[in-house]
């Protein structure tokens, strides 16, 4: 059985839970006014807000933890407020989008590639919490039935955190924490012990403002998050957002975000803030994806091409192809009818004309005409299903476009197509499913977020900075030697990072574990580390 997405394009992720105290301040968005973040000077937030409202500002988001607010401002109000002594600065409130693209079929490979299957999960005692800022989660999915503690915060603007109108958030959550329950997939943290908190910032339209992300960050911290996973981003930075993530990192939170899918060297935010780990996408051959952004802020790489994970129940597609008693990996044509067809296999060549295939399954070679025309030429000849095999090496995905057909149609690889013998009994089934393949730095990000939680739970005495440093120092070097703009430090490696944490960084129990020192004490080059957070590390001259 093959599981895949029924979507050609993936939409964003979402999460809910924004400050109840703000609800009575938020006003309807004006039709034409632009949205800005207003940063007040220390101690001037209350008076500044009053002045802004009197000048015509319509409040969209109260960022009281940051002495700021997001508001819609007509031009005259903007001009007036820029001269107000209570205000430090006013900046455009940039938009943030999910970082996923269309899927391409491939094998599932990510969990083993990041060494998650080499690390035993901690299932007793207090667990670290991963906060996923995305499009929500389909909590009814069987992959989350008994997974640790899954909580969330709902918001009137984006809806209930436990629903997902565009699949992205559920897919991300599956990579982090889908159960090893014998169904579909399992995540980096698969034993059902991880604490997960969901913040839904994307509604069905698929984007949010930077100020929404700052408020979501606050909600994550209020929930007790240790790792914040953000498969999202935008091209424009925000000083308010930058400050918020820097402050969260200084409090011991580890933020991780997608490097972006534009396939260029442009920086994406929040990934490109110094306080945030920026994650690039690689494929099953450990080659950077052509869509993955490459810049000086890229820090780690992880699987982000053809990643199979959970989607809201019934929104994926499952295929089953059997010929001569052998099951084959196949991918439904986008737009295929969801039904089953069985009969003897008939070779239709490239099916450029109607194929005489009464009550039979058509075997068709790719090439020359559209997939839709091939399927119609099978259907019009009496065929009950169509199998289209590749004319070059490997698997592929295809679409029927706007053409409506009544028979199931799938694609298979060139080698599988060559093995199928005309005359053999064949069966093709396409139906609704609960899993899908997605591409994107959105898919790479939860691999790193999941690894961070996995190793941190095994080394709970470590700090966020030490977990980050361990992942960087033990990453599998890819591309140019050393850190580079495509792969960062390389492919994140869970087992290697945990071994370093346990051995040298944080006193996790290895032979070179840390010993507690006081600030100013001398550090040896052997096993001594300094302070409870081990910031000194072996080789440092003095404890810090």
Q: Give residue-wise pLDDT tens across range 118-135.
A: 999 998 877 899 999 999
Is 521 or 510 the better-scoring residue by pLDDT?
521
Cα–Cα distance measured from residue 137 to residue 160, given in angstroms and rounded to the nearest whole number: 9
Cα–Cα distance measured from residue 540 to residue 544, given in angstroms and rounded to the nearest whole number: 9
Residues 410-468 have pLDDT tens digits of: 999 999 999 999 999 999 999 999 988 889 999 999 999 999 999 999 999 999 999 99
The predicted pLDDT at position 107 comes to: 40
Residue 236 pLDDT > 50: yes
Q: What six digits make up the tokens of 1?
A: 């059985």
If you compute the radius of gyration of the chain from its CA atoms, what whole number of angstroms results? 26
Q: Which of 319, 401, 412 shows the shortest CA–CA distance to 366?
A: 412
Name the strand (E) or helix (H) holding 495: helix 494-500
Q: What are phi and psi of 274, to 5 degrees?
A: -60, -30
Query: 459 and 122 in contact (C-beta within 8 Å)?
Result: no
Cα–Cα distance measured from residue 331 to residue 6, given in angstroms and rounded to the nearest whole number: 10
What is the pTM assigned to this prediction? 0.75
Query: 180 and 145 in contact (C-beta within 8 Å)?
Result: no
Q: What are phi and psi of 303, to 5 degrees?
A: -60, 125
Q: Please state which CATH class domain 318-433 belongs to.
A: alpha beta
Q: What six digits make up the tokens of 524?
A: 């040896």
Q: In this structure, are strands 34-40 and 68-73 parallel, antiparallel, or unpaired? A: antiparallel
Instruction: Give 431: exposed, middle or buried? Use CB within 10 Å, 0-12, 13-18, 19+.
Output: middle
Average pLDDT of every residue of the chain: 84
Confidence band of 544 (pLDDT split at 50, 70, 90):
very low
Cα–Cα distance measured from residue 279 to residue 231, given in angstroms and rounded to the nearest whole number: 9
Confidence band of 507 (pLDDT split at 50, 70, 90):
low
Name the strand (E) or helix (H) holding 174: helix 168-177
Look at the alpha carbons of 166, 172, 177, 178 in this order and tell me if their dihedral is positive or negative. positive
Residue 103 pLDDT > 60: no
Residue 396 pLDDT > 90: no
Residue ranges per domain, the chain?
318-433, 514-544
The CA-CA-CA angle for residues 153, 157, 159, to 5°, reads 55
Query: 126 and 240 in contact (C-beta within 8 Å)?
Result: no
Average of per-residue pLDDT across 194-198: 96
130: β partners = 196, 227
Cα–Cα distance measured from residue 230 to residue 275, given in angstroms and rounded to the nearest whole number: 13
Residue 516 pLDDT > 50: no
């Amino acid at each position: 059985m093959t599981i895949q997405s029924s979507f050609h394009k993936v939409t964003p992720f979402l999460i809910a839970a924004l400050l109840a105290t703000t609800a009575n301040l938020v006003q309807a968005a004006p039709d034409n006014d632009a949205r800005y973040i207003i940063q007040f000077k220390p101690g001037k937030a209350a008076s500044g807000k009053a002045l802004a409202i009197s000048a015509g500002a319509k409040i969209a988001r109260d960022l009281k933890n940051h002495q700021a607010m997001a508001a819609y401002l007509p031009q005259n109000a903007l001009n007036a407020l820029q001269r107000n002594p209570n205000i430090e600065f006013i900046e455009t409130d940039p938009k943030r989008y999910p970082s996923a693209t269309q899927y391409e079929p491939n094998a599932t490979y990510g969990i083993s590639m990041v060494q998650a299957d080499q690390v035993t999960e901690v299932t007793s005692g207090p667990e670290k919490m991963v906060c996923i800022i995305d499009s929500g989660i389909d909590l009814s999915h069987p992959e989350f039935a008994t997974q640790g503690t899954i909580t969330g915060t709902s918001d009137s603007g984006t809806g209930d955190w436990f629903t997902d109108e565009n699949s992205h958030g559920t897919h991300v959550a599956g990579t982090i924490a889908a159960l090893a329950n014998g169904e579909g997939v399992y995540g980096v943290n698969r034993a059902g012990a991880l604490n997960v908190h969901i913040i839904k910032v994307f509604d069905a339209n698929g984007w949010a403002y930077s100020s929404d992300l700052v408020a979501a960050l606050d909600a994550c911290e209020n929930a007790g998050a240790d790792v914040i996973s953000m498969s999202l981003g935008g091209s424009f930075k925000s000083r308010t957002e930058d400050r918020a993530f820097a402050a969260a990192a200084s409090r011991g939170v580890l933020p991780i975000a997608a490097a972006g899918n534009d396939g260029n060297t442009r920086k994406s935010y929040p990934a490109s803030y110094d306080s945030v780990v920026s994650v690039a996408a690689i494929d099953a051959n450990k080659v950077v994806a052509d869509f993955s952004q490459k810049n000086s802020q890229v820090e780690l790489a992880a699987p982000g091409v053809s990643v199979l994970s959970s989607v809201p129940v019934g929104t994926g597609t499952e295929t089953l192809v059997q010929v001569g008693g052998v099951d084959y990996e196949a991918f439904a044509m986008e737009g295929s009818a969801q039904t089953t067809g069985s009969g003897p296999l008939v070779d239709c060549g490239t099916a450029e004309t109607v194929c005489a295939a009464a009550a039979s399954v058509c075997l068709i070679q790719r090439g020359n005409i559209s997939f839709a025309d091939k399927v119609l030429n099978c259907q019009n000849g009496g065929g009950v299903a169509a199998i289209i095999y590749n004319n070059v090496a490997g698997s592929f995905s295809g679409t029927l476009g706007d053409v409506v057909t009544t028979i199931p149609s799938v694609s298979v690889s060139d080698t599988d197509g060559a093995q199928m013998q005309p005359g053999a009994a064949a069966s093709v089934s396409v139906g609704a499913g609960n899993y899908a393949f997605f591409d994107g730095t959105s898919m790479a990000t939860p691999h790193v977020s999941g690894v961070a939680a996995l190793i941190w739970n095994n080394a709970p005495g470590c700090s966020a900075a030490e977990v980050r440093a361990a992942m960087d120092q033990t990453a599998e070097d890819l591309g140019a030697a050393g850190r580079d703009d495509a792969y960062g430090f390389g492919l994140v490696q869970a087992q290697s990072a945990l071994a370093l944490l346990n051995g040298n960084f944080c006193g996790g129990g290895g032979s070179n574990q840390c010993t507690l020192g006081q600030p100013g004490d001398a550090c040896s080059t052997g096993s001594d580390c300094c302070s409870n957070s081990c910031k000194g590390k072996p080789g440092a001259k003095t404890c810090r």
